[in-house]
Structure 1
Amino acid sequence: MRKTIAVLALSLLASHVMAAVSPEEAAKLGTTLTPVGAEKAGNADGSIPAWTGGIPKNAGAVDSKGFLADPFANEKPLFVITAATVDKYKEKLSDGQVAMFKRYPETYKIPVYPSHRTVNLPPDIYESIKRSALNVKTINDGNGLENFTGNRYYAFPIPKNGVEVLWNHITRYHGGNLRRIITQATPQTNGSYTPIRFEEEVAVPQAIPDIDQAKAANVLSYFKQSVTAPARLAGNVLLVHETLDQVKEPRLAWIYNAGQRRVRRAPQVSYDGPGTASDGLRTTDNFDMFSGAPDRYDWKLVGKKEMYIPYNSYKLDSPSLKYDDIIKAGHINQDLTRYELHRVWEVVGTVKPSERHIYAKRHMYIDEDSWQVALVDHYDGRGQLWRVAEGHAQFYYDHQVPAYTVETLYDIIAGRYIALGMKNEEKSSFVFGFAAKAADYTPAALRAEGVR
């Protein structure tokens, strides 16, 4: 008996030590696998092409506001999935997408275009990824990362379980320091809405020259969000220090309330706390499709499959569009969307018996080339499908950054939704690589940010 226990203990220890992959396996990155860990080869019938390095930085024109030309503007859909034809394609759709056809049979559609594997990253990010493969391990039951140092991106490019796949989404490359102005809409069932405008910054410790790197060792990023419209919300500012191991050191958040002129700690900005100005239509951890700590769920890796996911959504980002062109009753204007067939990682998160969350289960599909979550089906405590998320992705080829054009989260029970990330009417597209200072991300700096 003692011998059996000793063998089991050694086995468990070995599984922890071997969480990082071997040099031989890491050598697949850039050979049989892409530098980020996707399958380099196409699929059997060629409908998913081989990855050949992504598209170049000059793949299209960039206008004076930083908006990108659509490299595939001349393409037409291969076919359009409708409620009448959905059964033919449902093996490559999520249950949530199928449910959208049932909820909106007259208007919901999925236009499917030729697949393009556009994503590529800067050389120093590829070097960071290989370093992660060789060194990074999960600790604290998968809730933290060990040996995740330097340029910290893509912790597990060759993942072995569900939580490692999720960590790749959480630790993916956002282009360094990022500044953006975006609009959120929470339409009523008839399509009427009031735009909510945000000015946001994300800064990473490794790109803040004057920060104390030792104190920032467990910080993944700093996030600041100012509400600038409508007037009743303008001046409120949120600051978040996004920690890596949020069980060991919970996410730190503060809110400046313009009406009270006070800065307060904001512990509700986590897990299933309500999202900013979301009218109850999303949780805090719905932001970025999934963000925050993974500790309340058991994450099962189902495997990989081919699916129709939102991709190369340049048309949806066009500065020639108005928000009224995009926001419609029930769902966004699907005529402006683009879906392609891609391989995804399928991961199911189930709430642990000892934990609580309004989503009892999250069924996720994560793009292999970018590690961005593409689709999520959310289930309530009764096991009923509740909310369906789609991340409409585009690749910012001029800066080599994959990101979202719009994140949508559909409540198929209430018939309402939230659309976050639109910038079509703004004065500029994303600004990458801005100069950040440590003092900008302190609670003391929030009061100066608030305006009425």
Structure 2
Amino acid sequence: MLRACSLLLLAVVALQAQARVDSTQAARLDRDLTPLGGERAGNAAGSIPPWAGGLAQPLAQYRPGMHHPDPYAGDAPLYRLGSHNLADYQAQLPAGLKLLLEKHPEHFLEVYPTRRSAAAPQRIYDATRFNALNAELISGGNGVAGVAAGIPFPLPQDGQQAIWNHIMRYRGEQVRMVTSQAAVLANGDYNLLKLERDLYFLYGRADVRPQDLDNTLFYYKYKVVAPAMLAGSALVVQETLDQVLAIRKVWRYSRGERRVRRLPMLAYDTLRPDTNGLVTADQVDAYNGAPDRYEWQLLGKQEMLVPYNSYAVHQQGIPYEQILQQNTLNPELLRYELHRVWVVEAELRKGFRHPYGKRRFYLDEDSWQILAVDLYDKNGVLIGLQESHPISYYEVPMFGSTLETLYDLQGGRYFVDGLDNNEPMYDFNARLSPRDFSPQALRREGN
């Protein structure tokens, strides 16, 4: 009996040791690795430059409230990648992007010089350094303990740790935004849905301690503004950290019923409202929620052509019909660069259901933002592609997507979220508090 207890204790200690790194490894964040765990050096070919701190300050011409001026507007494309030269670059393309180019020969990628613009506040770097020595997975990988801000696992040892880095990356402390989304049909038709959105992050706030989180990551609320027939409907989410321990709490206000209802489930494969059946709940922000339905594998790093520094499609005043073309976004407005990404593969566990039997994620080494996802059905057929088109919100500073897309590679449809070209720019200093994200607050929103 004593021997069995000793072996059990050794096993527990071993698991904890795997969850953390030693001080020698953590010290690499001050030397050869960036503060968030990327490689400081460029690549041998010189096509990826060293990281030199990213865009940590606003441009001189930037003023609060502006759509962000493009710091790289003077860059010329290195080359155009399309069906005519696809074979030369296919090793650097996510499988879904390669298939998208094959299915739509009119589509192309403008490939630009690589600019490592990702940056975060110094306190996030300090917290990440602390996390390297203290963060650990708990509840079978469904939660993270010992952290309150920063990337939990800057030197990831497995796929679960890597996906938690994306889920818990820094996105500011609060933000108010007005954006539109659209499900674009195969014939090019679409309807815009305009939303007012508020986000209040508990994880990542200054002066928040691990015990202050109470299993909460952030609060989220949206209200439909247009079209008029849907205006007034609203939703509020209280996002839990360990969603197996306690599922996220969601309430929805229906303008027609004029009442607030608690939704029993908005997670995993539940369809996200108002997306024409294209988007599951766990595809918001490329991936969110509990990781328990998948087996996660860290496949290593790879140099890939991915969306990056997408300032052109972010600029103020661009008509949405100029962005939303039949089959794909307007390629003239998109920017791709060569970056090192962590490749993480998720296989659906036996006994669980989901439209996607396998997903392959490509995570930016400098920010942990998911940049692309290959989506496979239960038979291993490639059926979808997700892309996040990011910029550096340098006034925060924070690196995140300005536009997110999901392509149905079988049906020819696609979904896009984050259209903000004709709306006020994000307000990262909005006056928000957790009290704004209650069922009572949602009821007030609807009146």
The answer, yes or no, to whether TM exceeds 0.5 is yes
In the other structure, the counterpart of 1:122 is: 121
Aligned positions of 1:341-360 closer than 5 A? 341-360=338-357
Residues 177 and 207, structure 1, Cα contact 8 Å, conserved in 2: no
* Superimposed CA distance per residue, residues 206-232 of structure 1 (whole angstroms, 9 cap, x where no aligned partner): 6889x9996741000001111111122
The alpha-carbon distance between structure 1 residues 230 and 256, as it changes in their structure 2 partners (threshold 3 A), is: same
Residue by residue, what CA displacement relative to the aligned partner does 1:277-334 show, whole Å, maximum 9, x if unpaired?
1000111111111111111101100000000000000001011311011000001001
Kindly provide the amino acid, as one letter, of the partner of residue 44 in structure 1: A
Point out the more displaced range, 211-220 or 82-91. Answer: 211-220
* Distance in 1 (alpha carbons) for counterparts of 2:159 and 2:425: 34
Matches within 5 A, 1:8-407: 10-59=10-59, 61-63=61-63, 65-105=65-105, 107-149=106-148, 152-205=149-202, 216-407=213-404
Deviation string 1:378-422 (CA, Å, 9 cap, x unpaired) is 111221111101111111112211111110100011100001001
Single out whichever of 15-24 and 291-300 deviates more from structure 2. 15-24
Mapped partners of 1:406, 1:206: distance in 2? 23
Q: 1:441 maps to which residue?
A: 437
1:145 aligned partner, one-letter code: V
Q: Take 1:356 and 1:171, find their aligned partners in 2: how far apart are those partners?
A: 25
Gaps (5+ residues) in structure 2? none
Give the C-alpha shift of residue 25 in structure 1: 1.2
Which range moves more in the overlay, 161-170 or 435-444? 435-444
Q: CA deviation at 1:62?
A: 2.3
Q: Tell me, yes or no, if the aligned pair for 2:390 and 2:403 is still in contact at 8 Å.
A: yes
Larger mean CA deviation between 407-416 and 347-356 belongs to 347-356
- TM-score normalized by structure 1? 0.94
Shift of 1:17: 3.8
Distance (Å, rounded) in 2 between the aligned partners of 1:32 and 1:9? 35
How far apart, CA to CA, are the structure 2 residues paired with 1:353 and 1:312?
39
Q: CA deviation at 1:201?
A: 1.0
Structure 1 residues 206, 42: closer, same or farther in 2, change over 3 A? closer
Identity of aligned residues (%): 39
> How far apart in 1 are the matches of 2:205 and 2:98?
44
User: How far does residue 66 in structure 1 lie from its aligned partner after superposition?
Assistant: 2.1
- C-alpha distance in structure 1 between counterparts of 2:162 and 2:412, whole Å: 31
Does the 8 A contact of 2:173 with 2:202 survive in 1? no
Instruction: Please give the alpha-carbon distance, in whole angstroms, between the structure 2 residues aligned to 1:234 and 1:331.
Output: 28
Provide the secondary structure at the position in 2 that maps to 1:393. Answer: strand
State the one-letter code of the partner of 1:95: A
Q: Please state how far the C-alpha of 1:235 moved relative to its aligned partner.
A: 1.1
1:390–1:126 Cα change, 3 Å: same
Aligned partner letter, 2:301: K
Task: Tell me the distance in 2 between the aligned counterparts of 1:420 and 1:250.
Answer: 25
Shift of 1:447: 0.9
Deviation at 1:191? 1.4
Task: Determine the C-alpha separation between the residues in 2 that align with 1:164 and 1:115.
Answer: 27
For residue 435 of structure 1, report the CA deviation from its aligned partner.
2.3
SS at match of 2:155: coil
Contact 1:271–1:283 (Cα < 8 Å) also in 2 = yes
1:437 deviation in Å?
A: 2.2
TM-score normalised to the size of structure 2? 0.95
Q: CA RMSD in A?
A: 2.1
Task: Give the partner amino acid of 2:384.
Answer: R
Amino acid aligned to 1:229: A
CA distance in 1, matches of 2:5, 2:18: 20
Structure-1 separation of matches of 2:315 and 2:122: 29
Deviates more, 1:152-161 or 1:411-420: 152-161
Once residues 146 and 37 of structure 1 are traced to their aligned partners in structure 2, the CA distance between those partners, rounded to angstroms, is 19
**Contact (CA 8 Å) 2:19, 2:137: kept in 1 or not?**
yes
2-side partners of 1:330 and 1:129: how far apart?
40
Letter in 1 for 2:43: N
The Cα offsets for residues 13-37 of structure 1, whole Å up to 9 and x where unpaired, read as 3122441111221111131100011
